[in-house]
Structure formats: C-alpha cells, structure tokens
A and B are shown apart, each in its own frame.
Chain A
C-alpha cells in the first residue's frame, strides 16, 4: 500500500481547509491558521513526492470528479521530483509567510482573498505533476494560473504598477493556455485518447509533422511558463510585484512546472523526437540564460534582478533537457540520462536558492519598503540574519563552489562536453556553443549577485529608509532557515539525491545515469569517469579561508595597532552618495554589451537665464529596456490596437446593421454546411 494517495488526500484536505479558513476567519486568527494548514499541505505534498522518488508508483481514476471525462491521477518518480520540490518550498514559504503577513495589517497578503488563495496555490503546485490526463492537467494548470494571478494582485492598493503587472501576467499566461490547449487537442485527437497512457501509446501513430507541431506549441507554452525568452515578458513584471512569499513560490515551484510539462510532453508522451526539436530547445535555453542574466546584471530593482535570474536558470535547465533529447535522438542513452539528471538537479538547486533569495529580498522590502538597490545599502549591520541568508543563497546562484548551484552546472557541463563524442555537424556546433553560453552566464551571474549583495547589503545606507531597517521577525527567519538548510545540504551532500534522480530519469524510459552515486559524499559519473567531492571542495575552501583570515590576525597581534580615520583625501568624510550604486556597478558591463542591451539615455542641461555657460540644472536619465520585449511585443500590441480601432467601425450602433450581421452569419453557416457535408 503506497503512501502517495494518503499523502495527496491529506494535502488536498489541508489545502481546502486552509482556503476555507482564509475566507472565514477574522484577521488575527487567519494568518497563523492558514500558514499552519498550508505548511501541512506542503509537508504532505513533499511526502508524496519523496514516496514517489523512493520508488513507489500510484495511479487512479476518479470518474465522477470532472464532468464527461473524469479525473485521472498518476504519480511516478519524475512527478515526484517536482512534487517534492514544490512541497518543500511550500513548507518553508508558509512559515515565512505567517511572519510576512502578520505585520502588514488586513490588506496585502493578509487580506481575505490572498489568504484563501495561498493554500489553494500551494495545493495546485503539488497536484499539477500528479495529473495523468489532458483535461485534468489543463484544469489544474489553469487553476494554478488563476490563483497565482489573484495572489500577484494582492498588493494592488499599495502600488499602481501591480495592476499593470497583473494584466501582463493574465494575458501571457492565457496565451500559454491557448497554445497548450491547441497542442493537446491536436495530440489527443490524433493519438486517440486523452489520458496520458493513451497519448503515450498512440504517439507513434501520429505523423511527424503533427508531432512537431504539438512539440512546438506545447514547448512555447511551457517555456513561457518557465520564463524563457521570447515569451518571458510577464516574469520580470509579475514576480517583483507579487508579495514576496508568492514571488518565492512562483519563481521556484511554478516555473519548475514549465520544465515538468516540457519533459513530460516532449520526452515522455511524445517519446522523444528528431534533433531539430531539441536544437531549438537548446537555442531557447541558451538565449534565455545569457539574456536573462544580462538583464539581471543591469537591473537595479532587487526583485526584478532575481526574476531575471530565474529566466537564466530555467534557460540552463532547458539546455540540459534539450541536450537530453538530442542525445536520445542520436541514440546515446547514458549521456541523455546524465543531461536530464543534471537538469533535474538544477531544478532542485534553483528552487532552494531562489526561494531563499526571494524571501530575503522580501524581508528587505518589508522592513524598508524599498526594492531599489540604488537606495538600499548598509543592511548587513541592520539585518544581519537576512544579509547572511541572502549571501548564502547568492553563493548558490553564482554557480561557484561551494554553492549548491555549482554541482548541477558542473554536471551539465560534463554532459555537454562529453556529448562531443556523439556524431553530427549540428551537435559539433551546438554543444561547444552552449558550453560557452553557460560559462558566460555563470560569469555574468557572479557580477549580478556581487552587485545585489555588495550594493544592497554592504556599504552605508543610501536613504533614510534603509538606515531605519530592522531585522525580520523570527518566523520569517525560521522559514528562511529551512531553505538555507536545504541549500547547505544540497551543496555538501548532493549524492544523497542520486538514487532518487536515477528513478526520475528512468521514469521516462532512460537508463539511470548513476550520476550521483557514491553514498552522498562523492559525485561520480560512471560512464565518463569523472568525479567530484563537494564535501572536500568545501573543506579545502574553508581551510584556505581560515588560513587567509587567521594567520594575519595571529601575526598582527604582536604589533601595536592603532585606529586611524578613513583616508578621505583630506576633504570631508565621504558621504553615502559617493558610494557605488547598482547602476554605476553595472555600467562597465553595460558598455561591453552595448549592442545587445541598447540602453537609452537622455541628458538635459538647463543654463541659467543670464549666461549660456552657467548651468542651473543637469538632468540625466538612463534606461535599459528589455529589448526583446521592445522589438517583439510592441509591434504586435500596436497591430492589435490598430485592428481594434478599425473593428470598432463595424459596430456602428445601428440595429439594422446588427440584425444584418446575424443574418449574414446564419446564411454563411448554412451554405458552408450544405456545401461541405
């Protein structure tokens, strides 16, 4: 008897109860009770995921639950990865969310709607991977989108920009849904059934063109959900504007489901495909990785920076998934398994550090009301715990040892580099290129997070609000502590996940890679004889740092020390305005990538009235617009607006005209039926 159904039933019950509690309870009780129930749902969801990763499978049909088609649920190890990650993030974020919403009053995240939606959102995040038919999947998918939309809008009273972000999010997510509907409708019609089992069985009877079309449509929808270019525009808008616990959930568990959908559809249901699918996916991943992190490095809004970094990490994951599909299509299955395992491990790692980053950013926003790095600073001494946790997560995000992101990127690079033994011109061109793109994105990521940490948390406060920052309440720190523990565990003993990842990879018919074998301490790649011991790397680094810090202290103690004031060139003491800001830190990088970013700047010099040589005021403005958005979206939006304006003329206000339309429509329909059938 598997533990999965019991755990999922518990999660559903607790999530539902949480939603009711959010609606019914008064403000004082609402936040803690909802937090507790949500955390419970998270624990249950994570338990179901872990059970699935432990090797148990479960499937059931509930015919009465959805009209006409019924509900189909199934959990395998692949779903288990995403379920476990979602559940774990939900637990930490729920604990954090109680502290976050408690001080905010009955608006924002503490409001009735938001508190009712939060457990539902958590529940859908856990349940989406369990769906085993098209209709079940789409219903849960849409429910997740709607609930998260309501949560994004939670703080609409505080900032007008929230509404605009909500509109963007609503439109783009439904664009994704339409694409998904089209893809699955086509697929189900050709494969002769709408359950995943039927699709899997019927996939090989579908013609290659249709399969390609299904993959492209579904791929667009899923990469859009994951925030990959070109359909990423909602992400840097909606994630920063949502309340931080919601951002943390969206930027980890929800974008992960885009990856899940793509793996499930492309590799499992369609059963893999020709090389061009996967080359396309690698291209999307590579562009997202570099473009996303470049925008992150330019951003001076802390949460926007993190949102763009999500784009980057999802890009890396898509490179891994694409490489997996590519190797499968060339028949190198062990290497494909390794690439997929690397991608999945990066999903897990990214969830851990990004949730922590968003939570830490949330406590900064909660305490100072600021997201603008240019006006923050000096938080290290004012919020030491938050700063430390942010630093820990940033270490994971820059993909350098001893951070947790390093291990998955290392695995990914290993699989790509060894992929060169696969024959084919496209492979020989694409793999080295993607290795270069990954390296470039890792380098820029280092700059972006040095900026976020150095400018945001160190130095001196650059505004009174940053000066008055206070440490976050204990519950928020506890929630972040859970995530931090996960980050540290993933960095030190990723090998513990080895068997689980193997099962997840074999769930879609690839042989287990054995990528993370060796009892947790060591990461050994059996097929390509490479190994890495994160624990030793960390130990060596720790010893080196201790030596570098400790020896001068020991040696220096014998000498007389004296304190001197900071050397300020003899002038006055330096003011915070002289410190590096996020914008000035990013400026050199922006110059390097001038052609890609195309920044716009305005310089307005106003002379005094008496003389053209004496300047009264200088106004300088610089923006780094999202260029893809600029080029791709604006023409479409303009065309849509133009069509709308001209279509307005059709509705002239005359009843005769409208009756005429009805008549013409009917006639056309009848003629079509008469001629066509």
Chain B
C-alpha cells in the first residue's frame, strides 16, 4: 500500500517534454509514422557518445516516449545511430549493417567524430567520417553530444 501511495504522490519523474525541436521531419522518416526502431553502431568511438546514447534512453530523457526504441538487429531497425570515426575494421561492417536494414532507412551520425573524425582525424586506423562510408541523413554535433540533443534528433525522425 505504502508503495502505491508513494507512486501516486511522486507522479511523473521524467522531465516534462520539451517543445518540438526545430527543423522538418526528413522525407524518408514520414513513412515510419512516428514509430522508429533504432540500432546503434559503434564504428570506433571512445564510448563517450555511447554513454550519452544510453542516457537518452534512460527514464529521465526517455527517448522511448517519443516513439524511438532500441533494437538488437539491423533487420528490425529503421535508423542507424552511428558513433565515432569509422575505423578501417569497422568500415565494412558498417556498410553491411546499413545494407541489412529495410527501406526506408536513415543514418544519424552522433558526435563530432562521426561528423568529421573530431579528435581522431588523421589517425592511422581511421578510414574517415561516417558520411565517407554511408550516406548520412542527420547529424548530432557535440563531443559528446548531450542526451537532449540526441533525443531532439530522434524526435525529428519520429516527428513527435
């Protein structure tokens, strides 16, 4: 009983939904109807971005309430969330992952590294930015980007 009362008294713990982010919903994302399955690919990041992505899906930022959901296989996914500069070893797997996704598919490059190799530009194992390997639809700048920014990018895809 005590627990139930506690729940009632506490109410919502998540942050109130911020206003809709600027920018239009990308053309391809319209077909998805506001429900987006997300597959993360770490193409060589320092894991800073991964921590923020994890935070974006936690109960506070709660990306799921906007219709974005993480899945385990690209076969189920509409969006690839790619982090880090693309290393040589990950270039081919990244291409295959994107190719394995059904149409329509979107690629979101998360973090400065993913956009322009950031900190690791010119490194010997670095193949290039994500856009050099697969076509990118959205970017989320920052090193690492804040969870808010990631959620905002996902909201642009879900349109909610």
The answer for the CA separation of A562 and B105 in the assembled complex, in Å, is 14
Q: Within 8 Å of chain B (Cβ to Cβ): is A565?
A: yes
Name the residue on A nearest B98 (C-beta). Answer: A570
Stretch in B89-97, B107-115, B124-132 with 4+ CB within 8 Å of A: B89-97
Q: Within 8 Å of chain A (Cβ to Cβ): is B100?
A: yes
Given A565-B100, A570-B96, 6 other A-B residues pairs in contact with their CB atoms under 8 A: A562-B103, A567-B75, A568-B96, A569-B93, A570-B93, A571-B93
Looking at the assembled complex, report how far the CB atom of B54 sits from the nearest CB atom of chain A, in whole angstroms. Answer: 21
Cβ–Cβ contact A565 & B99, under 8 A: yes
Q: Within 8 Å of chain B (Cβ to Cβ): is A548?
A: no
The answer for the CA separation of A568 and B95 in the assembled complex, in Å, is 12
- Produce 1/0 per residue, A550-578, CB < 8 A to B: 00000000000010110111110000000
The answer for the CA separation of A224 and B74 in the assembled complex, in Å, is 57
Residues of A within 8 A of B92 (CB): 570
Q: Within 8 Å of chain A (Cβ to Cβ): is B73?
A: yes
Cβ–Cβ contact B99 & A564, under 8 A: yes
The answer for the CA separation of A568 and B92 in the assembled complex, in Å, is 12
Determine chain A's interface SS by DSSP, over half rule: loop
18 contacts between A and B (CB under 8 A): A562-B103, A564-B99, A564-B100, A565-B96, A565-B99, A565-B100, A567-B73, A567-B74, A567-B75, A567-B100, A568-B96, A569-B93, A570-B92, A570-B93, A570-B94, A570-B96, A570-B97, A571-B93
Residues of A within 8 A of B73 (CB): 567
The answer for the CA separation of A263 and B36 in the assembled complex, in Å, is 69
Residues of A within 8 A of B97 (CB): 570
The number of chain B residues with a CB under 8 A from chain A is 11
- Produce 1/0 per residue, B21-33, CB < 8 A to A: 0000000000000
The answer for the CA separation of A564 and B97 in the assembled complex, in Å, is 11
Q: Which 5 A-B pairs have the closest CB atoms?
A: A570-B93, A567-B100, A570-B96, A570-B97, A567-B75
Name the residue on B nearest A568 (C-beta). Answer: B96
Q: List residues of chain B with CB under 8 Å of any chain A CB.
A: 73-75, 92-94, 96-97, 99-100, 103
Residues of A within 8 A of B99 (CB): 564-565
- Produce 1/0 per residue, A68-94, CB < 8 A to B: 000000000000000000000000000
Residues of B within 8 A of A567 (CB): 73-75, 100
Looking at the assembled complex, report how far the CB atom of B102 sits from the nearest CB atom of chain A, in whole angstroms. Answer: 8
The answer for the CA separation of A569 and B74 in the assembled complex, in Å, is 9
The answer for the CA separation of A571 and B97 in the assembled complex, in Å, is 10
Determine chain B's interface SS by DSSP, over half rule: helix
Query: What total count of A-B pairs have CB within 8 Å?
Result: 18
Instruction: Please provide the chain A residues from 606 to 646 with a CB less than 8 Å away from any CB of chain B in the complex.
Output: none
Looking at the assembled complex, report how far the CB atom of B42 sits from the nearest CB atom of chain A, in whole angstroms. Answer: 11
Which residue, A562, A567, A569, A570, has most C-beta atoms of chain B within 10 A?
A570
The answer for the CA separation of A562 and B102 in the assembled complex, in Å, is 9
The answer for the CA separation of A562 and B75 in the assembled complex, in Å, is 13
The answer for the CA separation of A565 and B99 in the assembled complex, in Å, is 8
The answer for the CA separation of A562 and B96 in the assembled complex, in Å, is 15
Residues of A within 8 A of B96 (CB): 565, 568, 570
Name the residue on A nearest B99 (C-beta). Answer: A564
The answer for the CA separation of A43 and B97 in the assembled complex, in Å, is 62
The answer for the CA separation of A199 and B74 in the assembled complex, in Å, is 77
Instruction: Please provide the chain A residues from 566 to 594 with a CB less than 8 Å away from any CB of chain B in the complex.
Output: 567-571
Residues of B within 8 A of A564 (CB): 99-100
Residues of B within 8 A of A569 (CB): 93
Residues of A within 8 A of B75 (CB): 567
Name the residue on B nearest A560 (C-beta). Answer: B103
Name the residue on A nearest B101 (C-beta). Answer: A564
The answer for the CA separation of A399 and B97 in the assembled complex, in Å, is 43
Residues of B within 8 A of A565 (CB): 96, 99-100
Name the residue on B nearest A571 (C-beta). Answer: B93
Looking at the assembled complex, report how far the CB atom of B117 sits from the nearest CB atom of chain A, in whole angstroms. Answer: 21
The answer for the CA separation of A568 and B99 in the assembled complex, in Å, is 12
Residues of B within 8 A of A570 (CB): 92-94, 96-97
Name the residue on B nearest A570 (C-beta). Answer: B93
Looking at the assembled complex, report how far the CB atom of B131 sits from the nearest CB atom of chain A, in whole angstroms. Answer: 19
Name the residue on B nearest A562 (C-beta). Answer: B103
Name the residue on A nearest B94 (C-beta). Answer: A570
The answer for the CA separation of A571 and B95 in the assembled complex, in Å, is 11
The answer for the CA separation of A35 and B73 in the assembled complex, in Å, is 57
The answer for the CA separation of A569 and B94 in the assembled complex, in Å, is 10
Residues of B within 8 A of A571 (CB): 93
Name the residue on A nearest B95 (C-beta). Answer: A570
Residues of A within 8 A of B100 (CB): 564-565, 567
The answer for the CA separation of A570 and B99 in the assembled complex, in Å, is 10
Residues of B within 8 A of A562 (CB): 103
Looking at the assembled complex, report how far the CB atom of B37 sits from the nearest CB atom of chain A, in whole angstroms. Answer: 15
Looking at the assembled complex, report how far the CB atom of B85 sits from the nearest CB atom of chain A, in whole angstroms. Answer: 17
The answer for the CA separation of A564 and B92 in the assembled complex, in Å, is 15
The answer for the CA separation of A568 and B93 in the assembled complex, in Å, is 9
The answer for the CA separation of A567 and B73 in the assembled complex, in Å, is 9
The answer for the CA separation of A570 and B93 in the assembled complex, in Å, is 4
The answer for the CA separation of A564 and B74 in the assembled complex, in Å, is 12
Looking at the assembled complex, report how far the CB atom of B30 sits from the nearest CB atom of chain A, in whole angstroms. Answer: 18
Which residue, B75, B96, B97, has most C-beta atoms of chain A within 10 A?
B96
The answer for the CA separation of A567 and B93 in the assembled complex, in Å, is 10
Residues of B within 8 A of A568 (CB): 96
The answer for the CA separation of A462 and B92 in the assembled complex, in Å, is 27
The answer for the CA separation of A571 and B100 in the assembled complex, in Å, is 12
Residues of A within 8 A of B103 (CB): 562
Looking at the assembled complex, report how far the CB atom of A279 sits from the nearest CB atom of chain B, in whole angstroms. Answer: 55
Looking at the assembled complex, report how far the CB atom of A571 sits from the nearest CB atom of chain B, in whole angstroms. Answer: 7
Name the residue on A nearest B100 (C-beta). Answer: A567
The answer for the CA separation of A569 and B99 in the assembled complex, in Å, is 12
- Produce 1/0 per residue, A532-557, CB < 8 A to B: 00000000000000000000000000
The answer for the CA separation of A570 and B72 in the assembled complex, in Å, is 13
Name the residue on A nearest B92 (C-beta). Answer: A570
The answer for the CA separation of A18 and B97 in the assembled complex, in Å, is 66
Looking at the assembled complex, report how far the CB atom of B19 sits from the nearest CB atom of chain A, in whole angstroms. Answer: 37
Instruction: Please provide the chain A residues from 131 to 149 with a CB less than 8 Å away from any CB of chain B in the complex.
Output: none
Name the residue on A nearest B41 (C-beta). Answer: A570
The answer for the CA separation of A664 and B113 in the assembled complex, in Å, is 104
The answer for the CA separation of A569 and B90 in the assembled complex, in Å, is 12
Looking at the assembled complex, report how far the CB atom of A572 sits from the nearest CB atom of chain B, in whole angstroms. Answer: 9
Looking at the assembled complex, report how far the CB atom of A570 sits from the nearest CB atom of chain B, in whole angstroms. Answer: 3
Looking at the assembled complex, report how far the CB atom of B60 sits from the nearest CB atom of chain A, in whole angstroms. Answer: 31
Which residue, A568, A569, A571, has most C-beta atoms of chain B within 10 A?
A569
The answer for the CA separation of A24 and B59 in the assembled complex, in Å, is 89
The answer for the CA separation of A424 and B106 in the assembled complex, in Å, is 73
Name the residue on A nearest B90 (C-beta). Answer: A570
Instruction: Please provide the chain A residues from 299 to 324 with a CB less than 8 Å away from any CB of chain B in the complex.
Output: none
